[in-house]
Structure 1
Amino acid sequence: MASRGQVLGIDFGTSNSAAGYLADGKPRLIEMSPGMTTLPTTFFFDFETRETLIGEPANQALLDGADGRFMRALKRVLGTTLMHEKRQILNERVTFVEIIARFLHQIKTRAEAETGLIFDRALSGRPVVFHGAGDAREAQAEADLRACYLAAGFRDVAFMPEPEAAAIASGALDQSSEIGLIVDIGGGTSDFSLFRSTPDGVDILANHGVRIGGTDFDRAISIDRVMPLLGKSTELRKVMGPGTSPVPNAIFNDLATWEKIPFLYTAQNRRMVAEMARLAEEPEKLSRLATVLEEEIGHDLAFAVERGKIAANTGGADPVISLDQIERALSAPLPSGMLDHVLAPYAQRLREGAAETLQRAGAAPDQVDRVIYVGGSSLMSMISKTMKTQFADARHSFTEVFTAVTDGLAIASASK
């Protein structure tokens, strides 16, 4: 009988991914590129070379202005009908299951090349909820992700809630009887796990999650600060007779949404925007929108918003979203306090998510000894401000925010 291969712990993320396994009793993360243990969850289909680029090379191709199609945040498509629709990309018709499978196969291949081991099974992190508690798409989302792993060459895959993995990696095992709350803010979901550390491991008291994350923060900032410069909330003259009507919001909402940007570059949309520019009360703004579609720079715009968000969050002087790629010297200011104002609805939902987690466990806020932040988007000051207000008596700590989930999966993989 053939021997069983190793289990690879994989954190397939909305924005970044990582993988690891247990070696000599410690989690060992796979090097995805020289000196880097995380891999951007991005794709670039190069129309000239006919190559599919993954990770940092995909990001660089976009920044270099290569002719092709860029994709990011495909994790948010899991559970939707888009996963199984065939699309013409380069020389073939493929589904998102096949595209994600190629990404996971790259991770598998890199892990095996680095270690000399065979990884035929995966322990995958998964958000507590993909879409929402009780949402009919929940089971389908996990089934879709399972299909991606199997298509990538793994013969079996098990799942672990991402905040549970983070709890294992947090050092909770060394703090007997401590009650901790994992606040895992990723690119697409925000998950909470209330746990008690015991001599035998981590006892999960309650899990809960909400479908918001860093890409939603980007979207809110883009809609509020950038899209008005492209014509959002302006007026169109009526084709017949006097009066005006508002510019439709749909195209702005899609342009601000990472996973929908690649599907906006159609002849129909270009014609629609050209007609809106002709009828616009403020034609210069709609002309900017036409430029974005014509030059296919929607993702450049999204990266600019992300950079502006980070600059504003770190307290830089006079942070702005630079939009030079659309028009020279064009920018959208993000003054002090603006970020908290734009993201206030998300702060409220996170507050409610944490409260719901405690309610499910029958616990009170003052029983929480420590709040542990993981996930790249947990670095937003809005997150810690919200949680410190809610859990004023707890210790607040940032662990390895980008790799805590992978560390936990690597530790847990040894028992699978």
Structure 2
Amino acid sequence: MTQISCGIDFGTSNSSIALAHEGTIHLVPVENESVTIPSALFYRRNDRHTYYGRKAIQLFLDREEGRFMRSLKRVLGTSIMKQGTFVNGTLMNFSTIIATFLLQLKDKAEVDAGQSIEHVVLGRPVHFIDNDPAGDAQAQRELQAIAERIGFKHIDFQYEPIAAAFAHEVNLTEEKLALVVDLGGGTSDFTVIRLSPKNRTKADRTSDILANTGVRVGGNDFDKDLSLSEIMPELGYKTTFGEKKLDVPLKPFHDLAEWSKVNFLYTPKMLMQTRQILGQSQDPKRYQRLLKVLEQESGHTLLAAAEQAKIALTSLTEHEMPFDFLEKDFSIPIQRSQFESAITDEVEKISGAATACLQAAGVSAEAIDLVILTGGSTEVPLIQSEFRRLFPKASLADENKLSSVGLGLAYDSQYKFSAQ
């Protein structure tokens, strides 16, 4: 039996797995014919079954009873990881939940390969958590333990932007100095790396990597910014209550605007507090919508609307966000200019981190020959224009935005494990 290794890109928003076998690399179909799958799970209450990816999202949007989970990668290395969460009345450990998701990727790959797979290179962001080396190391240990738990025996890690670079390097005919821009759902990572056809099979590429930086900002933050800017005000965000016209608590709105925190809002205490404030609200029509979201447990539907608007506004200049589940014929129009205004601070952080990567590498923007854009958020027009502004002389490569990291991780697994 020949050795087959794999690379797993466990993303905040989407995931993939690719196989390396006798010099060939290919992505595995993980949901019907698709080689990427949304990093989402739905535990349906009536049949106690677990669904993944697009099916999980559809069941949730169809208002099936159960527990929907997404953006699990952001839990790694945080205190939430140890707390666990209730799923249909049962306390579940987040390690178990993440292992369940990754195991179904591994199972699909083993069916494709026709044998068990023990060698894996897992992608990781440059920083799981900003400015927290202990939390960052803890996140990697937790992910390694999960990989061991589902049956991998030889485990290595690679930074996601470096993996994306490897996926593009196979198509080069000459040496290039590249900046990899990997904008995921939860993090944005950058690497300055020398790419060359003659170096692509080297197991150790340390000398080719000039610098890497990362910041905990990604597509989910764009969703959050858009939600707080355009959706939450229609639910009573920043309104007042009582005779003294006190500001309503802002935390519920901020949690409703973040994928990884929505589920923690659905408590009797939160419902009681919201009902009490509603009775004194100076804007009861809007604040009533917040109560309805909490009663229906439909916070993810709000975020899905923000995400769909973000996607729509990559090609359109305006979009209508429907909220019929709150009120008949209720919708919120959104202009691309409003979205871009909402995410300006995040784009500045991304731009700053990219510039810091150049400084750490000791190279100028003019020295960069190739900018590799990977991750779905690189499709946002404001991101595209920002990197064209920063690197006017460089070529921009943005093919395989959602799958280049998985492919690159498989190439890396081949280089690292071929001698074993």
Task: Give the TM-score band, short-chain normalised.
Answer: over 0.9
Map 1:13-28; keep pairs closer than 5 Å: 13-28=11-26
The within-5 A match list for 1:25-40 is 25-40=23-38
Query: In 2, are the aligned partners of 1:172 and 1:197 still within 8 Å (CA)?
Result: no
> Does the aligned pair in 1 maintain the 2:293–2:326 contact within 8 Å?
yes
2:242 counterpart letter in structure 1 = R
1:131 to 106, 119, 129: 129
Aligned ranges for residues 2-401 of structure 1 at < 5 Å? 6-90=4-88, 92-171=90-169, 174-198=172-196, 199-201=198-200, 203-238=208-243, 243-316=244-317, 318-401=318-401
| Residues 364 and 175 (structure 1), Cα distance of their counterparts in 2 relative to 1, 3 Å cut | farther
Deviates more, 1:362-371 or 1:115-124: 115-124
On the 8 A contact 1:120/1:155 being kept in 2, the answer is yes
- Structure 2 counterpart SS, 1:170: helix
**For 1:340-379, what per-residue CA distance to the aligned partner results, in whole angstroms no more than 9, with x for missing partners?**
1111101111111111100111000000111111111111
Write the deviation string for residues 157-205 of structure 1: whole angstroms up to 9, x where unpaired: 2100001011011136624331111111111111111111232236211
Residue by residue over 1:237-282, the C-alpha shift from the partner in whole angstroms, topping out at 9 and shown as x without a partner, is: 14xxxx2100110000000000111111111111111111101000
Corresponding residue SS for 1:334 = strand
Distance of 2:315 and 2:325 partners within structure 1:
24
Give the alignment's TM-score, normalised by structure 2: 0.94
1:77 to partner: Cα distance: 0.6
What displacement does 1:135 show? Answer: 4.0
SS at match of 1:104: helix
AA paired with 1:400? N
- Asked if the contact 1:313/1:339 (under 8 Å) is kept, the reply is no
**Total equivalences in the alignment:** 409
Distance between the aligned counterparts of 1:29 and 1:337, measured in 2? 37
**Identity %, equivalent residues:** 35
Structure 1 runs (4+) deviating above 6 angstroms are: none
**In structure 2, how many angstroms separate the alpha carbons of the residues matched to 1:212 and 1:245?**
32
Whole-Å separation in 2 of the counterparts to 1:23 and 1:5: 7
Residue 134 of structure 1: how far off its partner (Å) = 4.5
CA distance in 2, matches of 1:135, 1:231: 38
CA deviations 1:6-59 (Å, max 9, x no partner) are: 322100000111001124533211111221111111011111111121222211
Code of the residue aligned with 1:312 in structure 2: it is L
Ranges in structure 1 where 5+ consecutive residues have no aligned partner: none
Q: Is the 8 A contact 2:5 2:21 kept in 1?
A: no
Q: Judging changes above 3 Å, is the alpha-carbon distance between structure 1 residues 93 and 5 closer, same or farther for their aligned structure 2 residues?
A: farther
Deviation at 1:81, TM superposition (A): 1.4
Change (3 A) 1:261 1:283: same
TM-score calculated relative to the size of structure 1: 0.95
Please list the CA deviations of residues 135-155 of structure 1 after superposition, one character each: whole Å capped at 9, or x if unmatched.
Answer: 431111111111221222222
With 82-91 and 388-397 compared, the bigger mean Cα shift is at 82-91
Are residues 1:405 and 2:415 paired? no
In structure 2, how many angstroms separate the alpha carbons of the residues matched to 1:170 and 1:133?
30
